[in-house]
Amino acid sequence: MLAGIRMQRIRATSFSEELKNSPRLSEFTKSMGLLGESDIWEILIASNGIQWVALLRGKFTAMGMEPRIDKPSARRENFNGIPIIGDEKGAVAFLNPTTAIAGSFDAVLQTVERRNANSGVPEPLRKLTEEIPSTNEAWLASVGPVPSFLPVSKIKFGRAGFDPRTRAIDLAMEAESPGAAKSIGDAINGRVEGTHVTVQGPTMANLVDWMLGRSSRAPATR
């Protein structure tokens, strides 16, 4: 799975206040130990269904000083001059003053070790991301495992995007069976045709609440 959030662009919309008060975002930055002085511009999350890592772009410290992590128990390692700071709940590797990798300590270390052997985005995911309109400042593309708000553990493939200016969602997913498609459609008020589920239009309030972390309950049919 790949998912992206263009934080800087969202802050330029009326959705900015809701994002700023998002429990999910606060928990993410807290688990990584990122201090309040950090200004994250973009987040790109990659997952293989078992582990996940996030590529962060932003400003992590002032005056060119080394970034600090707010974790008293954090351990520190250096890999070819790249500092990795944190613990198994959350660690950060600072590649340069504006780029960092976040995730569990082991996932971050493995990503740093393998970054020069990167073969690029898998073709099925690349094609899905190309279908997502550029106005969607939060988006995801998935082959197999899916976000926890859906009532199935995996799908064949799918992509979704959220436009914070209009609060509209654009989603298309191919489920593994008609029954799985119906479950997804019921959960997100989608249109179901066989194994295909689509949603286009205003985002359900409870789905926005889930995205922001204001509710841990899965969206239900309205």
- Tell me, what's the pLDDT at 221? 39
- Give the distance, in angstroms, between the CA of residue 196 and the centroid of all CA atoms in the same chain: 23
Helix (H, G, I), strand (E, B) or coil at 122: coil
- Give tens-digit pLDDT for 138-149: 999 999 888 776
- Give tens-digit pLDDT for 53-75: 999 999 887 655 667 788 887 88
Q: Is the pLDDT confidence value at 2 over 50?
A: yes
Sign of CA dihedral 221, 142, 111, 40: negative
Sign of CA dihedral 17, 23, 28, 30: positive
- Tell me, what's the pLDDT at 100? 92
Q: Is the pLDDT confidence value at 123 over 50?
A: yes
- Tell me, what's the pLDDT at 217? 57
Length, in residues, of the chain: 222
Choice between 134 and 66, residue whose per-residue pLDDT is larger: 134
Quote the tokens at residue 69: 């992590």
Q: What is the mean pLDDT of the chain?
A: 87
DSSP structure class, residue 203: P
Quote the tokens at residue 150: 């859906």
> How confident is residue 31, by pLDDT bands cut at 50, 70 and 90?
confident
In contact, 204 and 188? CB cutoff 8 Å:
yes
> How confident is residue 189, by pLDDT bands cut at 50, 70 and 90?
confident
CB neighbours (10 Å) of residue 146? 22
Q: Where are the domains of the chain?
A: 2-117, 123-212
Percent of the chain with pLDDT over 90: 48
